[in-house]
Every structure is written in structure tokens, then in C-alpha cells.
Amino acid sequence: MPGLGGARDPHARSRRHRRGLRSFSTRAVALVGVIGVATTTTISLRPAPAAADAKSDQAQITQLGQRIAQDGAVVQQLVVSYDRAQAHQAAVEAQLAAVQAHLASDRRTEARGNRVLRQLALNSYMSGADEDAALALFNSGDTNSQVTKQEYMQVASDGLDNAVDAVNIDKQKTQAAETQLRSAQAQAQADVLKLADARQAAQTALTNDDNLLAQVKGNLQALLAAAAAQRQAAELAEEKAMAARAAQAAAAQAAQSQAAAPVTVSFHPSPGSYADPLRAINGLSPERIDQGVDYSGYGPIYAIGDGVVLSTVNSGWPGGTFIAYRLSDGPASGLVAYAAEDIDPRVTVGQSVSAGTVLGTMYEGPEGIETGWADPSGDGNTMAMDAGQFSGANSTAFGANFSQLLASLGAPPGILQNNPPTGSLPPGWPSW
């Protein structure tokens, strides 16, 4: 009948809804599998470690790095699963909205059918079946018209009943689909909340691991710093002990020779001449040539010749001693010589010295001594360093020149590490 021709359409929509429900069920099963994998991964919050030693802290840092990488992978998986679950929840809610819209359409169709039935019943009641305007064309008195009228009424009644039945059936199916989708929506919401909790727990564990790694690294740095301080203190104590033993040995030797370490001795070279500054060193042994010349042994060290003391200490040198003096006569007049490292100074800044003056006492320390040409300022630098000849483990031209000077005075020369030595001497520099 007019207005009821669309009553069959809801059946097609109901079939689409059923296919959508089957598709949703398949996706829901897959999602539950993903959630199962993600939520069964256990990430616990670890307590901070107690301070141990450097080796155990380094091992723990390695383990924490591996654990952070693993936790990061879990967090990433949970983020992906959470995003998928949210997308699925949105899809379910969209399907639910479509089903609800279809159900509302079915209800409107049913209401229209009911209004038509009520109108037909009212017309039939008020005017009688023979006077119904819809049947006016059958009002002739012949028998055929009456039969035709009855057949039309029967067909119309059956068609209307079928249409109403179809609407009711479709409404019931749509309501069933709505119930299933609401259940699926609730499950999807629960899955999203579960994944959100798991992701938060994983992120918290990852942050805890990062904080724990920073703490362990801090502990390790503190342990290494403490160990370095202990080693430095032990080395300093050992140097002092060796210096004390050397001083005791020198004092005993002086007592035996009845010479109480005089500042000057009865040695009077002619003016402008130089003397071997290492002539009184016991166990003198030459070592490498670098910025100057290295020696080991113990005993008094003299000045090469006449001069004035410029400095006696410099913390940049091992042992802290750097005795620099400017020569005032001879071939090297105006140049500055130095004796440094394991020496106990016996002179003061500004003091005049000669070849018979003891600059200091060499003790059997860990470094020995080094002697050579110093910067004219006497500030602790050497001529080799000023000229850029020294790189840390090589013989220099200035060191080789001073070794030749000592050899010319009777001392054993140093040992070249590279030949020729690095660099060259300035024009006019004395040779020996």
C-alpha cells in the first residue's frame, strides 16, 4: 500500500548488520589475543641498589641498559596495541550508532503502518465497508464487482499484515544486533582501559630504570673519584717516605764522612769556567734525553757556574721542585739552567751561586731528576717547550745540547730516544 513500500528494506539492512557483527567478532578475538600478549608482560618497579664497588656497578649499568631496551620495546608494543584498541572501539561505536539509527527508522516505519491501519479501521467503522472511499470503484451492484471487492480487501489486508510483520521482524533483528554491539562496546572499552593501565605501568617502570641507571652511574663516578683520591694520597705518602729515607741515608753518609752537607766546598774554578754539577751524586745513572737530561741517584747537586737563583719550586713538576738560575759568566752567560723534580732545595730566590754552591740534595724519589735549559723567565717552562720541540716522549735539540755540556764537564751524557733530536737551536747558541 502507499507509504509501506519501504518496509522490506530493513531486511537488507539487517543482513548487513549481521555481516558487520560477524566481522566485529573476528576482530574482537584478534584484539583479545593482542591484549593477552601485552598484558601478560610483567614489568615490576625495581628498588634502588645499595652502594657496592666499581666492578659491580659497571655490571649493573650493563644489565640496566639491557633492561631499559626490553622495557622500551614493551612500551612501544603497548602503545601500538592501545591505539588499535581505541580505533576498534571507535569503529564499534560507529556501528552501534548506525544500528540505532536503523532501529529508529524501523520504529518510524512501524508507526506509519499503525497510523494507516488505525485510519482504515476508523473509516470502516464510521462509514461502513461499502462506503469506504478506497473501495468506491467496486460499488456497482453486479456479482462480479462484489467478488472483486472481496478479493481486493483480502489482498490489501494480507499485504498490510506482511508489511507489518516484516517491519517487526527487522526491528527485532536490529534490536538483537544493538544488544550484541553494546556488549562489544563494553568489552572494547574494558580492553582500552586495561591497555592504558598496562602502558602506564610499563612507562613507570621505564622511568624507574632510567632513574636507577643515573643513580648507579653517579655511584660509580663517586667510587672512581674516591679510588683516585686514595691512589694519589698513597703515592704522595710513598714519595714522602722515600724522601725521608733518602734524607736519612744522606745524613748517615755525611756523618760517616764527617761532612755535614756543607753549602759550599773547597772548589774554586777559574772565573768564567764551568764544573760538573753531578760530581758528588752517589749511584749516578744517566737516563733519557727529553726537554733536558734525566738522571737517577742521590746526593748534592751543584750549580754549573756563577749565577743568580730565579726560582726553587713549581707545582707543575713531579716533586714540586724547579731550581732555575741565570748564568752570569762563561760561554752560556745570560742563559738559564734548571734542576728539577726529586730535589730538596738548599738555595733561595735571589741568591748568588757559583760552581761550588750546592743547589739542593737529590733523593731517591720515583722520578729522579731532570736538568737542562730553562725559559729566561725561570717560570717553570723549558726552552724545548717554548720552541715546541717536546711532544711528551722525545729527545729535543735543547736537551741534547745540555747533555753535550754535561759530558764536556765530565758527567755521563743522557740517552737519545731519537736521532737526530727534534728541533734546532737558535743562531749563536753555544755548542760543546
Tell me the pLDDT tens digit for each residue of 240-252.
787 777 677 666 6
3-state secondary structure of 387: coil
Domain harbouring 401, CATH code: 2.70.70
Q: Are residue 190 and residue 292 in the same domain, yes or no?
A: no
Q: Are residue 295 and residue 183 in the same domain, yes or no?
A: no
Q: Are residue 56 and residue 194 in the same domain, yes or no?
A: yes
Reference 133, options 124, 143, 144, 125; nearest CA is 124
- 58 occurs within a structural domain: yes
Q: Are residue 369 and residue 286 in the same domain, yes or no?
A: yes
Q: Are residue 48 and residue 140 in the same domain, yes or no?
A: yes
Q: Does position 261 have pLDDT exceeding 60, yes or no? A: no
- 385 occurs within a structural domain: yes
- 265 occurs within a structural domain: no
Residue 55 confidence (pLDDT): 76
Q: Does position 119 have pLDDT exceeding 80, yes or no? A: no
- 143 occurs within a structural domain: yes
Of 228, 246, 265, the position where a domain reaches its end is 228
pTM for the whole thing? 0.42
Average pLDDT (297-305) is 97
Chain mean pLDDT for the chain: 79
Helix (H) or strand (E) holding 369: strand 369-374
Domain hosting residue 58, numbered range: 5-228
When divided into structural domains, the chain yields a total of 2
C-alpha radius of gyration, the chain, whole number? 54
Residues 6+ apart with CB under 8 A from 26: none
Q: Where are the beta strands (DSSP E) in 235-319?
A: 282-289, 293-302, 307-313
Q: Does position 80 have pLDDT exceeding 50, yes or no? A: yes
For the chain, the distance separating the N- and C-terminal CA atoms, rounded to the nearest angstrom, is: 134
- 360 occurs within a structural domain: yes
CB of 309 closer than 8 Å to CB of 324: yes
Q: What is the DSSP string of 222-233?
A: HHHHHHHHHHHH
In the structure grid, which three cell numbers stand for residue 396, read together?
729535543
Residue 376 confidence (pLDDT): 95
What digits encode the pLDDT tens for the residues 352-380?
A: 999 999 999 999 888 899 999 999 998 99
Q: Are residue 132 and residue 212 in the same domain, yes or no?
A: yes
Q: Does position 217 have pLDDT exceeding 70, yes or no? A: yes
Of 196, 228, 260, the position where a domain reaches its end is 228
- 295 occurs within a structural domain: yes
CA distance 41 to 205: 12
Minimum mean pLDDT range among 200-209, 243-252, 415-424: 243-252
Q: Are residue 308 and residue 386 in the same domain, yes or no?
A: yes
Residue 160 confidence (pLDDT): 64
Per-residue confidence at 382, pLDDT binned at 50, 70, 90? very high
CA distances (Å), origin 232, targets 130, 238, 240, 280, 363: 125, 10, 12, 32, 20
Q: Are residue 383 and residue 289 in the same domain, yes or no?
A: yes
- 268 occurs within a structural domain: no
Minimum mean pLDDT range among 81-90, 105-114, 355-364: 105-114
By percentage, how much of the chain surpasses pLDDT 90? 36
Minimum mean pLDDT range among 124-133, 182-191, 238-247, 347-356: 124-133
Q: Are residue 186 and residue 324 in the same domain, yes or no?
A: no
CA distances (Å), origin 428, targets 332, 338, 390, 424, 431: 10, 20, 21, 12, 9
313 DSSP assignment: E
Residue 348 confidence (pLDDT): 97
Of 199, 228, 257, the position where a domain reaches its end is 228
Average pLDDT (257-271) is 45
Bigger pLDDT: 130 or 323?
323
CB of 213 closer than 8 Å to CB of 68: yes
- 316 occurs within a structural domain: yes
Q: Are residue 289 and residue 216 in the same domain, yes or no?
A: no
CB of 398 closer than 8 Å to CB of 372: yes
Q: Are residue 217 and residue 357 in the same domain, yes or no?
A: no
Minimum mean pLDDT range among 187-196, 233-242, 418-427: 233-242
Q: Are residue 211 and residue 302 in the same domain, yes or no?
A: no
Residue 22 confidence (pLDDT): 43
What digits encode the pLDDT tens for the residues 175-184?
A: 888 898 889 8
What digits encode the pLDDT tens for the residues 17-51?
A: 444 444 444 444 343 343 444 444 444 444 545 44
